[in-house]
Amino acid sequence: MKTVLITGATGDVGTHLARELAGKYKLRLSDKRPLKAKNFVKADISKMADALRITKGVDAIVHLGGYSVEGPWEGILQANIIGCYNVFEAARRNGVKRIVFPTSNHAVGFYRRDRTIDDHVYPRPDSRYGVSKVFGEALGRLYTDKYGMEMFMIRIGNVNPKPIDKRRLSIWISPRDIAQLVSIGIDRPGIEFEIVYGISRNKRAWYDNANAYRLGYQPQDDSETWADEVLRNEKPGGDPIAEAHQGGIFCAVEEVPNPAAPVRKEKAASKAKGKKK
Ligand code: 15L
């Protein structure tokens, strides 16, 4: 059985994957936030020493760790640029060849909704967060070309048990479908560098996911199952820039709420202190 490291294991996607992939691999879960699990190792990937420690002796890495929405540059720099570099470089030094990197639809979020895009399009990030995902894709390409590492890049849409709004009808992926795609990334022999889209078999997809199908992906779900319910609950109007582009609100705002983000927690703490005075 392969030993697989999942960074960012306490996040939403990490939680789904830890559940779906348990039993298939020997999982090593890691995050800077605590998790009560026997196979958990606490680590801050913005520190190279931690990245070296957690990547030792694994067969593959699913690198989810990092800032997962648009936010202040400092947080994204530490978690997604420095953190990503540390994990890829630590993997190289520890002889781990295979990395599955969940990049994001926000690496290409400024494509308009009337376009269907494939894995060859030029990146069009919709946020600093999206830029950090393009950085991960580029770093992966470098580590394949220069060091022969095997990189499977999944531009994830939105992982959820059900699609939550109209935009997500196009980019939704079910927990079991993302688990299948990640397994292809871990197990499929002969991967050099691939980009696929992390979506289910959605009728309303904005992505041509032929590359994923070529590599054996057979999604089980389609967001259309929930389309009536989702569209009934959709509020009319909305920001016109967000509505025109695939990345939605990421194209129009400077921050997307993320309760787990360290910088926001610090802000909230200092606000609360201020109020007490
Ligand atoms: C992402 O990349 C985020 O990590 C996730 O939290 C969602 O915001 C998702 O994109 C989305 O676009 O729905």
Using the mean position of ligand 1's atoms as its centre, give its distance from the Cα of residue 76 in Å.
14
Instruction: Please report, as a single letter, which amino acid is at residue 145.
Output: D
Q: What average pLDDT is seen over the chain?
A: 93
Using the mean position of ligand 1's atoms as its centre, give its distance from the Cα of residue 1 in Å.
31
Percentage with pLDDT > 90 across the chain: 90
Residues contacting 91, CB < 8 A, separation 6+ = 55, 61, 97, 99, 149
Determine the average pLDDT of the residues in 49-74.
96
Per-residue pLDDT for 261 more than 50? no
- Closest-CA residue, ligand 1 atom 2, reads 104
Using the mean position of ligand 1's atoms as its centre, give its distance from the Cα of residue 62 in Å.
17
Per-residue pLDDT for 274 more than 80? no
Residue 258: which pLDDT band, with cuts at 50, 70 and 90? Answer: low
Residue 257 is predicted with a pLDDT of 75
> Rounded distance, CA 139 to CA 9, Å?
22
pLDDT in tens, 95-113: 999 999 999 999 999 999 9
Residue 276 is predicted with a pLDDT of 44
Looking from the CA of residue 68, the nearest atom of ligand 1 is 4
Ligand 1 pocket member 104 (CB < 6 A): yes
> Rounded distance, CA 136 to CA 103, Å?
7
Helical packing angle, 128-147 and 83-93, nearest 10°: 20
User: Per the residue annotation, which of 25, 67, 111, 129 is the catalytic one?
Assistant: 129
Residue 271 is predicted with a pLDDT of 52
Residue 265 is predicted with a pLDDT of 47
222-229 contact pairs (CB < 8 A, 24+): 223/163, 223/168, 223/169, 223/170, 223/172, 224/169, 226/162, 226/163, 226/169, 227/169, 227/203
Torsion, Cα 95 100 105 110, to 10 degrees, reads 30
Residue 255: which pLDDT band, with cuts at 50, 70 and 90? Answer: confident
- Counted residue by residue, the chain has a size of 277
Ligand 1 pocket member 68 (CB < 6 A): yes
> Residue 185's closest CA among 80, 83, 59, 40?
59
**193 DSSP assignment:** E
pLDDT in tens, 169-194: 999 999 999 999 999 999 999 999 99
Ligand 1 pocket member 246 (CB < 6 A): no
Looking from the CA of residue 168, the nearest atom of ligand 1 is 13
Q: Which pTM does this prediction carry?
A: 0.92
Strand partners, 216: none
**248 DSSP assignment:** G
Per-residue pLDDT for 89 more than 80? yes
Q: Is 129 a catalytic residue?
A: yes
Ligand 1 pocket member 69 (CB < 6 A): yes
> Rounded distance, CA 2 to CA 57, Å?
10
pLDDT in tens, 218-251: 999 999 999 999 999 999 888 999 999 999 999 9
Ligand 1 pocket member 128 (CB < 6 A): no
> Rounded distance, CA 255 to CA 259, Å?
12
Q: Quick check: helix, strand or coil at residue 270?
A: helix
Looking from the CA of residue 250, the nearest atom of ligand 1 is 12
Residue 256 is predicted with a pLDDT of 83
Using the mean position of ligand 1's atoms as its centre, give its distance from the Cα of residue 168 in Å.
10
Between these two residues, 256 and 119, which has the higher pLDDT value?
119
Per-residue pLDDT for 123 more than 80? yes
What H or E segment, with its residue span, contains residue 153? strand 150-156
Residues contacting 208, CB < 8 A, separation 6+ = 116, 117, 118
Using the mean position of ligand 1's atoms as its centre, give its distance from the Cα of residue 54 in Å.
26
